[in-house]
Amino acid sequence: MAVVLNKEQIMEIIPHRDPFLLIDEVNELEVGKRVKATKYIKVEDFWFKGHFPNYPVTPGVLMVEMCAQAGAVALLSLPENKGKIGLFGGINNCKFRQQVVPGDKLDIEVEIIKVKGPIGVGKALASVNGKKAVSAEITFAIK
């Protein structure tokens, strides 16, 4: 899959930094509408030190954050949102369907389905090898 934005370019759009920048690349981008991004899950990722020793699994809440960061790239790429941040307003209909472990490539898709003023909603899906890992509807506020 082609890389549209690398990590450095992503950091020009969203304010997240290591260790909390949780997407590695953007593969497709329709500014303000939709995004496809990738997170390569590595054994050295910070959360595996304690979640769980001898049974490393990516926390579901961090996978939701990965989706939110991808969605933020789509929205904060709009010229009127340059330099702003996206904050969580809510998470609805979230489902975790499989464990995500070191060596997995998490493919993230977020479609912006509603925007009214600074508030919006994105429909997120993250998968590994075409199998759903997490899905959610994410409400956000642009500040």
How far apart CA 20 and CA 43 sit, in angstroms, is: 16
Chain centroid offset of residue 88 CA:
12
- Give the ranges where the chain is alpha helix by DSSP (H): 7-11, 60-76
Rounded to two decimals, the pTM is: 0.97
Of 113, 114, 120, the residue nearest 88 (C-alpha): 120
Can you read off the two tokens belonging to residue 19?
A: 């260790």
**C-alpha distances out from residue 111 to 16, 42, 59, 74, 99, Å:** 20, 26, 22, 9, 23
Residues marked as catalytic: 51
Q: What are phi and psi of 96, to 5 degrees?
A: -105, 125
pLDDT digits (tens, 9 = 90+) for 21-72: 999 999 999 999 999 999 999 999 999 999 998 999 999 999 999 999 999 9
pLDDT digits (tens, 9 = 90+) for 6-20: 999 999 999 999 999
